[in-house]
Chains A and B, each alone.
Chain A
Amino acid sequence: MRICLMGFGAVGQGVARVISMKNDYLNNKYGLDLKLVAVTDTSGSAISQDGLDVDLLLETKALTGKVCKYPEFGIPDLKNSKTMDMVDYDVLLEVTPTNIEDAQPAKSLIIKALEDKKHVVTSNKGPLALFYKELMSLARENNVQFKYEASVGGAMPIINFAHDTLPGCEIESILGILNGTTNFILSRMTREGSSYEHTLQEAQVLGIAETDPTQDVEGTDAACKTVILANSILGTDFTLEDVKVEGISHITSEAIALAKKDGYLIKLIAEVSPYSLSVSPRLVKEDSPYAVDGTLNMATLKTDLADEVTVVGLGAGSLETASAILSDLVNIWKKL
């Protein structure tokens, strides 16, 4: 299966590492040979119809920071749709950074691939949170598969889990923790009794929070995921502006201490129902499924037949996110 990989940051490199690590395993188990035929980053592209050497690609990126420095096959400044036109591929793997303003360039790349009748796998929340319906119907019209497990919850299985493992259940609502950075900060504030500002700085030093943490701490990231879950699992037609969002930047150590005294924790909870979407700090019982620590994500799906089903997993990380992408790739392969 030939892959055109757009974006070579933490997630893109994680995918490359996973391909390098698991190629024999995938070959033996599914007869699947994953071949990276094109890769782009902000510098340009590396293209080889016979497949790029993944280890050499990772080494080139580590040494120079640019995929266009890939020996022989690197092409500076060639990017996006131009790269897609230069190569024959089966699956577009779109992992460029999330843009919640207009979802570009991801949106155009995905549309182009779907119209060219290529399967698409993405980890990008922007196009899904803003244009879910449009993209899904385009995939259906062109009779190709469009998968996005990695966009919500990193390694935590939830979208494919709901679709493929609970296909007979109607999912009535979902309640969960969908952002690892804020869960880390709140868990740490609970354990250490430290202030929000101090704990945020600590998370930044550890690389868990970004230099500009706004999207995480103000709840935007979780809100995007809320929309994706609602539309893909509950079959709604929401977009980002339908979510009532409140972040964690106003949470004080005093509030956490008050909660703790009565056996509660404060968590940033996303609530998905057919009628409304919200992300806000909530009180959860210390012994409930919501009491997950650190950067873990969790989600409880309320179903008509199986009552409540809860999934937990690592919400971020290069290899962890790549594991969700690999699930999508294998699932596409199985249905070909």
Chain B
Amino acid sequence: MRTNLVLELQDVPGQLVGVLGPIGTLGANIVTVIHQRDIKTDKGMVPVQITIEGDQNTLDVVLKKLKELNIQVMAVDGIVLKEKITTILIGNIVDRDVKDTMDTINSLEGVQVADLELKLSENNQDSSTKIVVEAEYGNRDMVMDKIEEIADIKEFKVISEV
């Protein structure tokens, strides 16, 4: 069984060997490695595509090992892994068009509002909403920039994840 993985690596010497070494010792056969240093993710990391051969169990062990090594897997067999971004907004959420807020976020490519929860307070001015966005890996900064932009226009306060 062959599996394609896209890994996110730092652009420093030794990173690739540091990952391929452990994968090899786990019994997975490394078939191809595509390492294009001129393509960078928005965190300044390099996406590296590798194809490995092995049974399901070997693949699971490899994924576990990558997690241990703190290596981010961006995609498995073409399926882009997503990350969740949670933000809380405080302000006059309802009167400033909740649907428009969602639509604006959803208009970003590869980004989707997965959950939105609203809590009204006595004063409309300081209602709170929690927005959980699912974004393709590596898009966190773009999503946060958009949310900040909306918040600026609609006068919301943004509480973002550390």
Are A250 and B162 also in contact (CB < 8 A) when A259-B88, A283-B86 are? Answer: no
Stretch at the interface among B57-65, B99-107, B116-124: B116-124
Residues of B within 8 A of A246 (CB): 157
CA distance A246 to B151 in the complex (A): 14
Stretch at the interface among A22-30, A52-60, A261-269: A261-269
| Contacting pair B161 A250 (CB below 8 A) | no
| Contacting pair B90 A255 (CB below 8 A) | yes
The residue from A251, A255, A282, A290 contacting B160, defined by CB atoms under 8 A apart? A282
Residues of B within 8 A of A261 (CB): 117, 130
The residue from A255, A257, A269 contacting B162, defined by CB atoms under 8 A apart? A269
| Contacting pair A283 B157 (CB below 8 A) | no
| Contacting pair B162 A175 (CB below 8 A) | yes
A330 sits at the interface (CB 8 A): no
The residue from A267, A283, A288 contacting B88, defined by CB atoms under 8 A apart? A283
CA distance A290 to B161 in the complex (A): 12
| Contacting pair A262 B128 (CB below 8 A) | no
Residues of B within 8 A of A257 (CB): 119
Q: How large is the interface on A (under 10, 10 to 19, 20 to 34, 35 or more residues)?
A: 20 to 34
Return B140 CB to nearest CB of chain A, in Å.
13
Chain A interface SS verdict (over half): mixed
Chain B interface SS verdict (over half): strand
Residue of B119, B127, B162 with highest tally of chain A CB at under 10 A? B162
| Contacting pair A282 B127 (CB below 8 A) | no
Are A262 and B130 also in contact (CB < 8 A) when A255-B88, A255-B90, A283-B86 are? Answer: yes
- Residues of B139-161 at the interface with A, using a CB-CB cut-off of 8 Å, are 157, 159-161
Residues of A within 8 A of B88 (CB): 255, 258-259, 266, 283
B53 sits at the interface (CB 8 A): no
Q: Which residue of B lies closest to A259 (CB)?
A: B88
Q: Write the A266-280 contact mask toward B (1 if CB under 8 angstroms, else 0).
A: 110100000000001
Return A174 CB to nearest CB of chain B, in Å.
12
| Contacting pair A264 B128 (CB below 8 A) | no
| Contacting pair A259 B130 (CB below 8 A) | yes
Residues of A within 8 A of B90 (CB): 250-252, 255
Return A83 CB to nearest CB of chain B, in Å.
46
A281 sits at the interface (CB 8 A): yes
| Contacting pair B127 A283 (CB below 8 A) | no
Residues of A within 8 A of B119 (CB): 254-255, 257-258
Q: Write the A154-186 contact mask toward B (1 if CB under 8 angstroms, else 0).
A: 000000000000000000000100000000000
CA distance A254 to B121 in the complex (A): 7
Are A250 and B157 also in contact (CB < 8 A) when A259-B130, A283-B162 are? Answer: yes
Are A252 and B126 also in contact (CB < 8 A) when A257-B119, A283-B88 are? Answer: yes
| Contacting pair B128 A283 (CB below 8 A) | no
Return B156 CB to nearest CB of chain A, in Å.
10
| Contacting pair B128 A266 (CB below 8 A) | no
Are A252 and B128 also in contact (CB < 8 A) when A258-B88, A258-B117, A266-B88 are? Answer: yes
Residues of B within 8 A of A111 (CB): none
10 contacts between A and B (CB under 8 A): A254-B126, A254-B128, A255-B90, A259-B88, A267-B162, A280-B159, A282-B160, A282-B162, A283-B86, A283-B159
A interface residues, Cβ below 8 angstroms from B: 175, 246, 250-252, 254-255, 257-259, 261-262, 264, 266-267, 269, 280-284, 288, 290
20 additional A-B pairs beyond A266-B88, A281-B157, beta carbons within 8 Å, are A251-B90, A251-B159, A255-B119, A255-B159, A258-B88, A258-B117, A258-B128, A258-B130, A259-B88, A259-B130, A261-B117, A262-B130, A262-B132, A264-B161, A267-B162, A282-B160, A282-B161, A284-B161, A288-B162, A290-B162
